Amino acid sequence: MVQDKGFAGPILHFRGCDANGLHLAAVTVTPQGAVSPGSLRTAGGDCQPVLLAQVAGLAVWRHDFTLTTAEGGYHLNGRDHAVVTRLDGDIRIAFVSCNGEENGDLDRESAERNLMWARLEADHRRAPFALLLQGGDQIYADEATHGHPLTQDWPDHVPEDPSPDDLDDLTLYLQRKFAERYMMVLAAEGCANLLASVPSLSVWDDHDICDGWGSLPESRTASAVGQALFRVARQMYLLFQHGATEADVPALFTDPTGSALGWRRDLPGATLFAPDLRSERHRHRIMGEAGWKAMDALQPMGDHVFMVSSVPLLGPRLSLLESAMMMIPRMQHYEDDLRDQWQSHAHRDEWRRMLGAVLRMRKTAPVTVLSGEIHLATRAEMGPDDSLVHQLVASGISHRAPPKAYARVLGLFAGLGDAPLKGHPIRIKPLPGQKHRYVAERNYLTLDRRAGRWQAVWHLEESGDTPPLPLD
**Per-residue pLDDT at 415:** 80
pLDDT over 80 at 329, yes or no: no
**pLDDT band at 187; cut points 50, 70, 90:** confident
Q: What pLDDT, on the 0 to 100 scale, is given for residue 337?
A: 61
pLDDT at 325 over 80: no
What is the mean pLDDT of the segment spanning 163-185?
97
pTM of the model: 0.95
Name which of 252-261, 408-417, 424-433, 447-456 the model is least confident about.
408-417
Q: 231: helix, coil or strand?
A: helix
Q: How confident is the model at residue 334 (pLDDT cuts 50, 70, 90)?
A: very low
Distance CA 307, CA 369 (A): 5
Which tens digit of pLDDT belongs to each residue from 278-303? 999 999 999 999 999 999 999 998 89
CA geometry: angle at 432 spanning 430 and 358, to 5°?
A: 70
Task: Give tens-digit pLDDT for 50-105.
Answer: 999 999 999 999 999 999 999 999 999 999 999 999 999 999 999 999 999 999 99
Calpha distance 439→407 (Å, rounded): 7
pLDDT above 70 covers a percentage of the chain that reads: 94
Mean pLDDT of the residues in the chain: 93
Residue 327 has pLDDT above 80, yes or no: no
Q: What is the mean pLDDT of residues 357-364?
A: 96
pLDDT value, residue 435: 95
pLDDT at 345: 85
Q: Does 82-470 carry CATH code 3.60.21.70?
A: yes
Helix residue ranges, H only, 260-315:
289-297
Q: Where are the beta strands (DSSP E) in 32-135?
A: 40-42, 45-47, 50-55, 58-67, 73-76, 79-82, 91-96, 131-134
Domain boundaries, the chain: 82-470
pLDDT for 410: 86
